[in-house]
Structure 1
Amino acid sequence: MAALLLLLFSVGALFSSSNAQEAYNTLPETYRKGVDLALEKIHSHAGIQHHFLFFRSVAKSDIESGFDVSYIYHHFYLKATKCQKGTVDSTTCQFRNDRPLIDCALCYKTFGGEIEEEPKPYVHCSHKPALTEEMKAERREHCSRMGYSNGAPTLLASMGTE
């Protein structure tokens, strides 16, 4: 009986860990590159002790301005896992439910599917409880100011409210 329970627990853990990557894997490649950029920034902080993974998207927007150029806006959550920071293979990492989500918003320009260095990609991540309305407004303003060609609509024009 104990062996059966252990087997069921192991299978459940396997499914929950595969679900952790499933949301990330369903993102289009250009959005995954942005998530990777945010994760790189988060994991570079000395105060972060756990490995974080993409949890879910809140809002996505992209404008294709032609000539294989796109402007991407992505608002999403990262969630802590039970793995330690620096984990290389995160396929076995399970989400923790005792840590706050990290709320991230980023906007960047891509050319040929690659993130451009100019204008510099904007990445803003904060623990969800610490995120203020002023921070949200600054995010929207920054992404709206991002350099677009004359006459192009703003990136956030198609998003509406959160």
Structure 2
Amino acid sequence: MKMAAALLLLVCAGAVLYSAQAQNSYDGLPDDYKKGVDLALEQLNSHTVVHHHFRFLKTLDKSDIESGFGVKYLYHHFYLKPTTCAKGSTVSNPQTCPFRNNRPLIDCTVCYKTAADQIESIPKPYVHCIQRPRLTEEMRTNRMEHCKKMNYNSGAPTLLASMGEN
């Protein structure tokens, strides 16, 4: 009996730690990447078929290209996980809602341009989120191609630097 109680306590502690780790994962993201996660969450929550809040679970891949003059192009591939909190409930902070383990993860890719630490509207930020089991290889390829098109370097810093040599 004591062994079962100890095992139950261990499982509960692990669940709490796992939940806290996911929250810390979001809190540990640089602000530029949090903005992209928030953009994906905002888009996901705008759909009427979504009935629960989602939370950031973990980053799979991320990169940024600094273009100079405070301009960055960011790419972020991450998972969102559904929570037990219903959308529209009086939850003050959805990031505190417990995860649901009976629903698939949402696989998201976002890429966007920031200037002065704000997301720019041109080029339009790209957000693609889909339930993980539905993600196809073609979708992965299309995501990468779209983000590669956005991550261009205007060359302006190089051109300005070379003009001073004449």
TM over 0.5: same fold? yes
Q: What TM-score do the two structures reach when normalised by structure 1? A: 0.81
1:1-12 → structure 2 map (5 Å cutoff):
none
CA distance in 1, matches of 2:15, 2:151: 45
CA distance in 1, matches of 2:61, 2:151: 21
- Look up the match of 2:130: 126
Structure of greater Rg: 2
Structure 1, 13-22 or 109-118: larger mean CA deviation: 13-22
Query: Secondary structure of the equivalent of 1:139?
Result: helix
- Look up the match of 1:139: 143
Query: Secondary structure of the equivalent of 2:102?
Result: coil
Q: CA distance change for structure 1 residues 118 and 63 in 2, over 3 Å: closer, same or farther?
A: same
CA distance in 2, matches of 1:25, 1:38: 16
| Contact 2:74/2:111 (<8 A) preserved | yes
Percent identity of equivalent pairs: 58
- Look up the match of 1:84: 86
1:22-33 → structure 2 map (5 Å cutoff):
22-33=24-35
- Look up the match of 1:72: 74
- Look up the match of 1:100: 104
Question: Any unmatched runs of 5+ in structure 1?
Answer: 1-6, 153-162
Question: How many pairs align?
Answer: 149
Q: Report whether the alignment pairs 1:113 with 2:117.
A: yes
Question: Any unmatched runs of 5+ in structure 2?
Answer: 1-8, 157-166
RMSD: 2.4
